[in-house]
Structure 1
Amino acid sequence: MSPGPPLVPTRRRALDDLVGSAARLVLVTAPPGGGLSTFVRAYAEAAPATHRLLALPWEDAPGAALAGRTPAAGDVVVLEDAQHADPASVQALVSAARAADGPVVVLGWRVPGEGLFESVRSAADTVVALDRLAAQDVAALAEQRGLVLPASQVDRLLAHADGRMRHVVELLDEVPAADWTVSFFALPAPATAARAVRAALAGLTDDGRALVRAAAVLEAADRQARAVAVSEAGRVAGLDATVAAVDDAGRAGLVGVLDEHAMWIRLPDPVVRRAVLDELGPAGRAELHERAAGVVVDPAVALHHRWFAAPRPDAELADRLDELASERARQGAWASAADLLVLASRASVDAEARGARLVRGVDALVGAGEVPRASRYLTELESLRETPLRNAVLGYLAVVRGRPAEAESRLGRAWELVNPRRDADTASLIAQRYVLHHLARCRPRELVAWADRAMDLVEPSAPTAVEAAAIRGLGVAPVDGIDVALEGYRTLVGEVPEGPVAQRVTMASGWLHLAADDPDRAREELQSALTTDFLGGSRRISLWAHGWLARAQFQTGDWDDAMRTATAGLEMAQRSGMSLLVPLLAWTRTQVLALRGDWEAAEQSLRVGDAAGRDYELMRVPAALARAAYCEARADYVSVVRALAPLTQPWAREWVEQPGYWPWPDVYANALVLVGREDDADAFLARHEERAADAGHVSATARLAYARGRWQGVRGDLDAARQSFQRAIALLEPLPLRYDRARVHFAFGQTLRRAGRRAEADAVISTARDIYLALGAATYVARCDRELAAGGVNAARSQREFDDLTPQEEAVAGLVAQGRSNKEVAAELFLSVKTVQYHLTRIYAKLGVRSRAELAARRP
């Protein structure tokens, strides 16, 4: 086997993990064209392999290179394309790897199936599934060929190729470099795939071929559809019966059947669809689109088919597309409206109308969260005559991309140019974009003022008025109270139609219920706001829902669900170009990973969600909270204070400091106490305790009470500290906030242990440990174990690092031996630095060592 091309980033990480593992039997799987050969050959080079074998379909056995001998311990055997090998050879290699002194065996299996494959997978120590490429992989493959593709084209290529390595590589090699800069350029099918599809079509019956072609045409005209109705495909294909045709096409792999009754089908991926459409030819496509226009039920899709049947300027069609787009916009179905407006622009006869419709189409694309697709039209937009609407759309795009200075400039220019009396609709749209801008700037009063302006300029049913009303409550809540905002949403729910408009209201209401200590109601509402199915609901709203649902799941202790929700949202945000929401989604991932002790993944997540001073405040806040959570899990309280200090600045007073929205004041106060800034902690706590009391916010009061207990414990007032901790526990008891309960018990136990109440501390910390263990917070389980050991009461000490030390001395010695400074040890164990120095002196004397390095060397 010859060496393959360089590995893309995600495959390189998978290879590094595999080479560094102790697995003896490894199964590597990939779909056809998934990069299996490249990966397996890279492993053979890196291992390095003692025996490199390639199974071919016309050979009886791949093992001739072993010259009849059984691989020995220490050998590394790599078999590529094991699906072509005879069963006896595969079984022999698997048995050898499973033996006590067997070799390392890596089997590359291109087409997973039943029988022997399932047996090998069950026996394998590790299964490496080479799934879809990531955006960074596509960018790397392009750079290897001297192409620097914009993010929008990377995402487009990734989606078109369905993440398949072969498709991506062939398209990068086949498409001329200049074509990647053309906005209307349609990605073709790679040559290899096109040949395979043509051969498969040729092998079908006439009915099967007609059905596949009809399905391809129906999919092409409806980007929002997840499947094609067989009844519609049959009518477009002119078939009286479809069962045999579906069976024929399915067996050839050209359609997938989605339900048990074979009523819904879809083509395998966009490449197959493109190849089928190319094989059909322009005339054949036009004929089927004409038929489809009279078959499909959705009027928007019917108009799409009309356009595709005769793609040329048509004023009447353009007007109908525009009219229907306005109707969909009133429903809040921005994805559907965007498709209609882009087609209306193409169908327009008048140049000015063409430009105006394109501007509105791009605006709708941004509203739907399709930022990469919207970005493809940037050059065309900026070439148009400057108008208020054009500037508003460019400002809107800047908002969702997380660029506040550009958004401020663009929106300011739009408002300067517009005349609200003559063009109230555009003025209302600009005002509504300002609403989003001020939401991202964490400025609730400005948000409400611009929302009122947007609503006053147009009829209450206008799309901009409805969306402004849906967001307005998020500004009302910090100023007038969450209850007032929620009452407004309850009224609004009865006034808006079901679908995407209701999605906005439900998301905002769910966010506020989370802030109001009702995570169960929040979960219900946010879960219902996740969907983007109905008429192409807003991906932007869905991303907000993902972010806050993940927080609700985190607070209630469902961390696996929180990770799934945040990860799915983060992937969607990165694909859609919605940079504004990336830090919110990365925050939950970072916190869970840090609490679980997966430091490498937590650091990576932290970098993904990082934000700078030039970014929106709504990006900087969760980025700061993620960093603080990571540093707190590391017991690095100096860094916690540094991470959260920006949130104490005046810009954060109106919203970020409001109780309930962002759980950070207790984290900051606790860190101030632990780094010795007691006076600062006292002043900070006093201000926030007053705000929480005025708001009557239960969980905020409880969190601040435990931080106050910390402060009182350091000051030596144990009775007051006990009251503060017990009050926090009582307040949290009726709430499903498991992580907060664990935090309070842990801090209470440390305070008791520091005061010498070791038996009582043992019981409280054990409670914290049980909750942390149930949550999977391995980082804090280990800290609880150190606390229990340091207390020396009922602590299991079967495995000791150092003999002849007291429990507390052993805890100090263990942390110092890990490389912690005296200050870090003091913060971790809630001791003074002087106490740590005192213990360290005694430790050195007892163990006969003179330095931290010698102490580390004494660890078993």
Structure 2
Amino acid sequence: MLVGRDVPIAAVTALIDQAQRQAGGAVVLCGEAGIGKSTILSYGCELAAARGVRVAAVAGVQAEVHIPYAGLHRLWWLLGGDRSAGGTGIESPYTAAMTLLALIGSRDEPALIAVEDAHWLDRGSWEALTFAARRLGSEPVAMVLTIRDGEDVDRLLAQAGLPEQRLEPLTPADSGTLLDTVAPGLSPPLRDRVLAQAAGNPLGLVELGQVAATSGGAALLPSWLPLSTRVERTFTALVAELPPATRSLLLVAALDDGDGLDEILAAGSRFAGRPVTVADIEPAVTTRLVRVDDTYRLRFRHPLLRSALYQSAGVADRRRVHAALAEVIATDLDRRVWHRAGAAAGPDEALARELTETATRAGDRQAASVALAAFQRAVQLSEDPAERGRRLLAAAEVASEQGDIAAARQLIDDVAEEHLRPADQAWLSYLREAFFITGWSGTARLMLFAELIDALRRDGDQQRAIDALIVMSLRFYWSNPPVQTIQAYLAVADEFDSSKENPRLTAAVGLIAPVQRGAVTLERMTQLRARFDLTPAEQQHLGLSAGGIGALPLSAQFFSAAVAGIRAQGRVGVLAQLLTSQAFTAACQGDTRMARPTAAEAAALAAETGQPAWTLTAHLTLGHAHALAGDTDAALDAADRAEQVLLPGGRLPMLALVQLIRGVAALAAGRPADAYAQLCRIFDPGDVAHHAYLPLVTFGHLIEAAIWSGQEEALRAQIDRLSGVARESASPSLVVALRYAEAVLSGDGRTYEAALAADLSEWPFERARLERAYGGWLRRRRRSAESRPLLRSAAATFDALGAAPWAERARAELRASGESLRRAGDDAGSLTLQEQQIARLAADGLSNKEIAERLFLSPRTISTHLYRIYPKLGIKSRGELAQYVDLRTRTDAPQPYVE
């Protein structure tokens, strides 16, 4: 009976109505145990079925919380997916979510996905389901999840970002109505006692009311027990009345991570030491404690019954059940090793090794919670103190990936440092500094880490040493280290075997010393570009290194390949980092049409995967792109917000990104003196916003600001310093900027011509900037006819890149020359950033399915977006879209409009 639940019922009904109108959505019903979540979910399932809506219902199971994708597999089967798909077929929660969206979108009829006890889902299933739920907008699917209160659950809900419907206790009046329905005739004192102890909890009212009606007030003692405990004891009492064989089977079912009746019966026979049959489960079915569906899958009436069985069983019985299940489960190695671990009575190094392998596989699938639990159980089973320490360190790393720093610190505190091998002692010190204990220390401990990395290498753990060097190289880039520290790291890197052939070492060296080793690293990376065997991770590191040196086109190529590979793997956490880097490279190239949607996607994914540092960096990159596009308010807001985080956190070199935004925004707004003042801080070693290597890719903006504001002499001093840097590093972006500076300072047409004669095919923004400067120089010397082709080309290029303020200045110069050029119509400006991204991919010839796979959306959602895009652009088909985008991105001179 549903009493006092009009609001959540209306929410679930509205979702089902919405799904029937071909628009999806999700809601999470949350609250304490017994509050009525399951009843409302059942109501929704019955309503959907009565309307002809397809219903797929699954439940989280406490015993299978560590089995990767167990809940998702059951849902997959219910929706008609291939039953042969196993855990090894899922690479990450995000690819699983996309497969699920494709499956539910393969039919046009509406569907309801009902997920009970979602807090007991394994982490992979939870992440996949919530990731899919956020993308149901264009699918005829309603998703309703129930979840019990708890601190861990609150964190999950905060990360999920789904609409919540919290169920509160019933009012006194509604509580009385429900109690009088289920237990009429209670004496007033007993009725008041039940109402007081149930405290508005519907399950408590039903169960305690019925017990009071049959057994009197004594059944309600002890009154101090929490409601969930009292209800669990009520269930335990119900189970105690069943035959021994039935109780044994229910205990097996409670500890099983599957729900197949045949598996439960087989394990039950081993546990009982005699054959157990279907007849032995019938008493539990008759009393409605469990139900068995048409596919012979067993489900408990209420999750508290499973919990009650688990709590009431002795340790010895639980171990015997796990042993029986391990014997029955033969084909799924991960499930089997979990049950063997559950049955283990003491340390077992061989089993600990198997669990460590399970943890590693789970980590590769991005099932971080499964990996963490496996590592922790492996620690408990470890006999070798050194291996125990290594597993604790691995567990700490996984905990940090989940954002649970408190757990990571506790795991590190549990490490007995004296038992660690030298390599692991080094790794422990690294983890303490980099993630957990001391926080950000700038350059203070970089020398120590050089020694630790070298210790890892000398002890034969080259893989971990290279991993550490890669991690430290990115930190190095953002630390402004002194020369002696740079030399120390280079000496360590040079000691590795095959350093010239190892792409990751090449990338690390490029980030550690973009100037000192820039030229040789750039040569190696240019050779590596032709290799087909690079992994996406290697391409990512090479892209970072190439960008750090200023080889922006090469960086963009590596990032493009890496993004495709990481998207295919579904590694969304890594993808967020990679897209941030890709967007930054695009912004440094002046390409706002690439940078803005990419940075927006990166920020959303970084927030979605719990990476605040990368979320901040993505927003900074988006601010840079906004500044280039002329959206100065959004740009400056991003800069201000970032500064409020970076200054207190002591991450001062990253303030250079704040100054970059402010400087470019000032240039866009026509305030060159302000732009010069803001950008100069990046170049000044005495400023807190100084960055040692960002000048390699930002010098062009400083040159433009200096020339426009009359700071030629100050600019010459910068050129004198950076010319030597360019010779040593061979930084392509710096070389291009110095040609631009030489031309604008020369006042000589031949110098302009020489600069334009260089190969600038991969530098469209810089070529357009040079063309606009040369065109203006020619116009001021009354050579208007010669200036116009240059100015037209510059305007067209800036328009194609979305750098509106620069395009407008080129048109202003053109008008001053006596010719007016209409501003290119930019209907694309009416598109959202996501619509711009979809339009670009569709114009490239990708199908809806291919676009969906890239953007982690459903094909139906892509189709819906395209139908919105077409009228905004005044087109009707994908063919016209391709023509439109081609015209918008073409950089040759358009036909001028002469007033």
Q: TM-score, normalised by structure 2?
A: 0.52
Change (3 A) 1:412 1:736: closer
Q: 1: CA distance between counterparts of 2:665 and 2:550?
A: 24
Q: In structure 1, list runs of 5 or more residues that go unmatched.
A: 1-31, 38-55, 58-80, 85-109, 118-128, 132-163, 176-187, 238-242, 257-263, 713-717, 799-860
Note if contact 1:216-1:273 (Cα within 8 Å) is conserved in structure 2: no
Superposed CA offset, 1:748-774 (max 9, x none)? 333344455455445433332222223
Report how far residue 361 of structure 1 moved.
Answer: 1.5
Q: 1: CA distance between counterparts of 2:40 and 2:590?
A: 50
Change (3 A) 1:764 1:323: same
Report how far residue 393 of structure 1 moved.
Answer: 1.5
- Residues 1:605 and 2:638 aligned together: yes
Change (3 A) 1:358 1:699: closer
- Residues 1:677 and 2:700 aligned together: no
Note if contact 2:656-2:682 (Cα within 8 Å) is conserved in structure 1: yes
Paired position in structure 2 for 1:405: 441
Out of 720, 737, 759, the residue aligned to residue 686 of structure 1 is 720
Report how far residue 681 of structure 1 moved.
Answer: 0.9
Alignment of 1:504-583 (within 5 A): 504-513=537-546, 522-530=555-563, 532=566, 539-540=573-574, 542-554=575-587, 559-576=592-609, 578-582=611-615
When structure 1 is superposed on structure 2, of 420-429 and 576-585 the one drifting more is 420-429
Out of 287, 301, 304, the residue aligned to residue 256 of structure 2 is 287
- Residues 1:705 and 2:739 aligned together: yes
Paired position in structure 1 for 2:794: 768
- Residues 1:111 and 2:18 aligned together: yes
Alignment of 1:171-570 (within 5 A): 171=30, 174=31, 193-199=37-43, 212=58, 221-222=67-68, 230=77, 251-254=111-114, 268-269=129-130, 272=145, 284=253, 286-289=255-258, 299=333, 303=337, 315=348, 319-321=352-354, 323-324=356-357, 333=364, 335=366, 339-349=370-380, 357-366=391-400, 370=401, 372-379=403-410, 381-382=412-413, 388=425, 389-397=427-435, 404-405=440-441, 408=444, 412=448, 428=465, 434-443=472-481, 446=485, 449-450=488-489, 453=492, 471-475=508-512, 477-484=514-521, 487=524, 502-513=535-546, 522-530=555-563, 532=566, 539-540=573-574, 542-554=575-587, 559-570=592-603
Aligned AA (1:646): R
Report how far residue 516 of structure 1 moved.
Answer: 7.3
Superposed CA offset, 1:812-839 (max 9, x none)? xxxxxxxxxxxxxxxxxxxxxxxxxxxx
Paired position in structure 2 for 1:95: none
Change (3 A) 1:572 1:747: same
Change (3 A) 1:582 1:642: farther
Q: 2: CA distance between counterparts of 1:327 and 1:265?
A: 18
Paired position in structure 2 for 1:142: none
Paired position in structure 2 for 1:664: 698
Change (3 A) 1:225 1:512: farther
Change (3 A) 1:706 1:626: same
Change (3 A) 1:727 1:333: farther
Q: In structure 2, list runs of 5 or more residues that go unmatched.
A: 1-6, 88-102, 117-123, 132-143, 154-231, 236-248, 259-321, 419-424, 824-899
Report how far residue 111 of structure 1 moved.
Answer: 1.9
Change (3 A) 1:674 1:614: farther
Q: 2: CA distance between counterparts of 1:537 and 1:679?
A: 50
Q: 1: CA distance between counterparts of 2:490 and 2:255?
A: 46
Note if contact 1:293-1:303 (Cα within 8 Å) is conserved in structure 2: no
- Residues 1:730 and 2:764 aligned together: no
Report how far residue 745 of structure 1 moved.
Answer: 2.2
Other structure's SS at 1:372 match: coil
Superposed CA offset, 1:30-76 (max 9, x none)? xx989x99xxxxxxxxxxxxxxxxxx99xxxxxxxxxxxxxxxxxxx
Change (3 A) 1:788 1:114: same
Other structure's SS at 2:380 match: coil
Give aligned pairs, total: 592
Paired position in structure 2 for 1:592: 625
Out of 778, 782, 794, the residue aligned to residue 819 of structure 2 is 794
Other structure's SS at 1:253 match: strand
Report how far residue 567 of structure 1 moved.
Answer: 1.6
Superposed CA offset, 1:216-241 (max 9, x none)? 9878622699877647868999xxxx
Other structure's SS at 1:272 match: strand
Superposed CA offset, 1:155-213 (max 9, x none)? xxxxxxxxx6x64xx75xx47xxxxxxxxxxxx8x9565434455678999xx999845
- Residues 1:639 and 2:674 aligned together: yes
Report how far residue 630 of structure 1 moved.
Answer: 1.7
- Residues 1:782 and 2:813 aligned together: no
Superposed CA offset, 1:80-119 (max 9, x none)? x7x99xxxxxxxxxxxxxxxxxxxxxxxxx726549x9xx
Report how far residue 345 of structure 1 moved.
Answer: 1.6
Paired position in structure 1 for 2:223: none
Change (3 A) 1:422 1:563: closer
When structure 1 is superposed on structure 2, of 676-685 and 414-423 the one drifting more is 414-423
Aligned AA (1:793): G
Change (3 A) 1:572 1:796: closer
Other structure's SS at 1:221 match: coil
Aligned AA (2:635): A
Q: TM-score, normalised by structure 1?
A: 0.54
- Residues 1:746 and 2:772 aligned together: yes
Report how far residue 565 of structure 1 moved.
Answer: 1.8
Q: 2: CA distance between counterparts of 1:432 and 1:545?
A: 15
Note if contact 1:583-1:619 (Cα within 8 Å) is conserved in structure 2: no
Q: 2: CA distance between counterparts of 1:424 and 1:725?
A: 56
Report how far residue 725 of structure 1 moved.
Answer: 2.9
Note if contact 2:630-2:669 (Cα within 8 Å) is conserved in structure 1: no
Note if contact 2:356-2:391 (Cα within 8 Å) is conserved in structure 1: no
Change (3 A) 1:795 1:420: closer
Report how far residue 215 of structure 1 moved.
Answer: 10
Q: 2: CA distance between counterparts of 1:297 and 1:396?
A: 40
Report how far residue 793 of structure 1 moved.
Answer: 1.4
Other structure's SS at 1:288 match: coil
Superposed CA offset, 1:688-712 (max 9, x none)? 2454356555543332222333334
Aligned AA (1:481): G
Note if contact 2:59-2:115 (Cα within 8 Å) is conserved in structure 1: no
Note if contact 2:55-2:111 (Cα within 8 Å) is conserved in structure 1: no
Note if contact 1:325-1:338 (Cα within 8 Å) is conserved in structure 2: no
Q: 1: CA distance between counterparts of 2:556 and 2:250?
A: 49
Q: 2: CA distance between counterparts of 1:656 and 1:199?
A: 60
Aligned AA (1:628): G
Q: 1: CA distance between counterparts of 2:513 and 2:453?
A: 29
Note if contact 2:510-2:518 (Cα within 8 Å) is conserved in structure 1: no
